[in-house]
Structure 1
Amino acid sequence: MYKGTKLGEVSSYLTLGNEQNDKSLTLLSLCFTFLHHAYASYHFVSSKLAQQEIDRVSLQAFKSKIIHDPQGVLNSWNDSRHFCEWSGITCGRRHKRVTVLSLRSRGFFGSLSPYIGNLSFLRKFELANNSIQGEIPPEVGRLFRLEDLQLQNNSLLGEIPANLSHCSRLKFLFLGYNKLVGKIPPEFVSLFYLKFIHLHYNSLTGGIPPFLGNLTSLEWLSMAYNPFGGKIPDALGQLKNLTSLGLAGNNLFGVVPPSIYNLSFLVNFSLSQNQLEGSLPPNVGLTLPRLQFFQISVNSFGGSIPVSLSNASKLQRLLIDFNEFSGKFSVDFGGIQNLETFSVEANNLGSGEADEMSFINSLANCSNLRVVAIGANQFRGPLPHSIANLSSTKLERLFVGRNNLYGTIPSGIGCLLNLNWLSMFNNKFSGTIPEELGKLQNLQYLDLSSNKLFGEIPSSLGHLPNQTRRGKTTFRFWIQVDKSTLNVSYDRLLKATDGFLQHLIGAGSFGSVFRGNDFKAIVYEYMPNGSLDNSCWGFRSSKFLPEVSSKPKQLCWRKRNIGYAAPEYGLGSEVSTDGDVYSYGILLLEMVTRKRPTDLMFEGGLNLHNFAKMALPDRVMDIVDPVLLNEVEEVIATNRILVQERNIKRKECLISMVRVGVACSMEIPQDRMNITNVVHELQEVKNILLRPRTVLIRQGGQSV
């Protein structure tokens, strides 16, 4: 105790000291608290800036792999602005992290940087319709927030990374139109949120995995034109939410599981170009009430076509051609008013009953109808005059060739004013050609060959107008009279018309119609350096005409180039000899099959190349132009062996020509046949045709 101090004073002093100490401690505690928060805030800001820097660096790495940017899109990707303001980039408001990278159809050429896997907030990655090469980096599997991956229509190689299965939120997977190989990773069984799978036009194998049936959120499954092989798994029948099923060109065999026909939400159903067999369920039109697109072309389906399809009221395209269906066709189209395309070509349909063509009557209710193709069947009887009622539709193409139809050609066809294609060859039509056909002002193609027509060609056909902007319309006109195709040589035509100065009976902007003593002919103007359908082509003219400069012509894109020009031209590639080979292959296939690559039958993934490829080798004779199959008469009717020998030679040659056309028109330039080999193969075809044989004589005395 202090001297002279009372006890109470000491007590009071200590109390005061304790209060002062508490205040000091409290203040000190507050200081530490503020310091902690300041440090934490500093650490948070620093971390946030560091993460943003990771995004910036990753985007720069992505840019470094793009070696060609024709639109200059990535010019904005520089440090003069925040990366969230770069073209194609979207960031979240809170963290300023990249959530969307969308650079669709920018003409990019390059590869994918593995640093893309560092964009950990990315939800949508869209790079479709470019020329991205190389493999998909496995680092993409680190994007655990990714919901939408769109890399379709590029040139990606290798296998689909299995660790994409780590993107557990993935809903949309678009990898179609690439060069991917291998199997669909079994790890994808965990992607329960997947709604859309687009893997079409790759080179995937290993069958269609049954585990896809467990991804019950799937609404769209498109895997066409991959050589998967195998059968359609029964498990796909579990996909009750499926609206679109695309398994065309997958080398599938066997029967379609019955459960597939019970997926009542299906709108698009495409199984064409496989080796599927069996029959369609009788109630298929009832179990698939939402059906709009039904395509099972080029398979081996058989039996009758179910009448219940009459109940598929939303149907727009019915494509069941090139199968083995038989019997009477009894579908009533009266309730299918939105039907646009109806094709049952190349089956065995027909019953011989008097009313088997009555289904034509109900087609008049289909106001949007554009294509009717019933050729290459066994339909028998007269073509109903009620076909004139189809004038209420938008009918553009009518195929009834290669049947057993007889009677006169209905004059009411002249009422179908939208027709641009009329094919009635190889039937038993008799009588004269109706004058009313001259009313078809949009007609570009008319084939009446191999019938029993007689009389004069109506002069009205000579006044059909030109429908092209430049040059001449492609207007083919074949007439079969008394079983002898009229093949008129240039010399004979020149003499019969006195140098094209006499016997003119009609003229139009497409050409002129002349009459000889026993024939009439439509003469086209010769177009030097011209091409089919007035299209610009990628051919090097010097390969054909020596007086033309060897510099390749610039490819001119117009609507009518579609189907002829090589696929790589659509991606900006320069004109090349590889492109020439592709165009030649398509042209060769067109000449052999008499089908253009732009024909309306080529839809839903089917094209002229695939159409011809699927026919090799056993079904080639089913697809070739019937004019190439015209039989010849022998002088000595008993010598049938020579006829058989000629037919074998002809078949061998046609198969070889189709093989060449298919080999030339491969999608990948490196896979196309070398032009030297093309010449060699076609020379072999020529040699086969020129082998010594007994001279055969056509009626009329012309040797062949």
Structure 2
Amino acid sequence: MIPIVVTIIFFLILSSFAVLYWKQKPNQQTSSVQLLEDQNFRVSYAELVKATNGFSSTKLIGLGRYGSVYKGIMDDGNTTVAIKVFNLLHRSASRSFIAECEALRNIRHRNLIKILTSCSSIDFQGNDFKALVFEFMPNGSLETWLHPKPVEDLHVNSLSLRKRLDIAVDIADALDYLHHNCQPPIVHCDLKPGNVLLDNDMCAHVGDFGLARFLNEGTGGHIQSSSTTVGIKGTIGYVAPEYGAGCHVSTSGDVYSYGILLLEMFTGKSPVDDMFQDGLSLCKFVEMAFPDGVMDIANPVLMLPEPSNIANSQRNGSDAAWKIQECMLNLVKVGLSCANQSWRERMSMRDAATMMHRIRDAYN
């Protein structure tokens, strides 16, 4: 009887070691670490290779700070996805991958990019491999609509004032959710047109959480410590000025970025435009024109009649012009308030979202 018991115990010990070894040494073909809760499916490195034709340059749809984004076809051709592959030669890429996984683990909002799964494995050469798989956004980024390149088959004139209002409201709602409905609050840290993606209905989704931070409890959402420290806190032109002075990230930093984005959307001027030098910035450019010269700096596209309301615009030209001017004045007020140089003087994202809804309702 004793030899049998000893044999059973020995077998159990060996089984435990086998399980441990399996967890520590993933198979290169099928390993996919479930870093995100509620994943719909797991995906292997080999499946991602197949989905992108070997990460072909013809499938490349975007380049970021820490990696590349590819269009992929999965589920036997039934599902189109966006696959973000991290360049692990960059020293902060792994931390960015973890930060994005942590930020996207529990958040759910119609105006945030939807993540489908993650893959942490090794490639066919035995190198570490990390990727995130997202819902595909067929209309690309807001950047390509605001500042299209000559080779891009997009019609910038189709992005009307009403559509820009819808997109601006979508972005405000997303940030309001991150700042005021998440526990702990999340600061995006890299809001810019390139990180706003548009779906088939031109609904905006904020993406790229590689620099996102969780705010420490009990700090009220202002200048404070954060839980991760991945690189620079944003992109030149959109970074809050206090960050350059060494302050920690805050919800106010996102508000500043939103203000800059708002001014960019309605003037058509990028904050890194060549005209902004020798002390002139996008904010100062707009401030100098406000209020009487706002229409002089507005993007000319916004003066065009709305496609769905051309007949009424022709009959009531003066009313339509007044409506646009009133809308622009209110938009610039919000933009300048959000992009105030002093973080203490900026409104909260909740107030900004509320005002943006009112402006859109009044224009509609």
TM-score scaled by length of structure 2: 0.40
TM-score of the pair, normalised by structure 1: 0.22
Higher strand fraction: Structure 1 or Structure 2?
Answer: 1
Which of the pair has more CA radius of gyration? 1
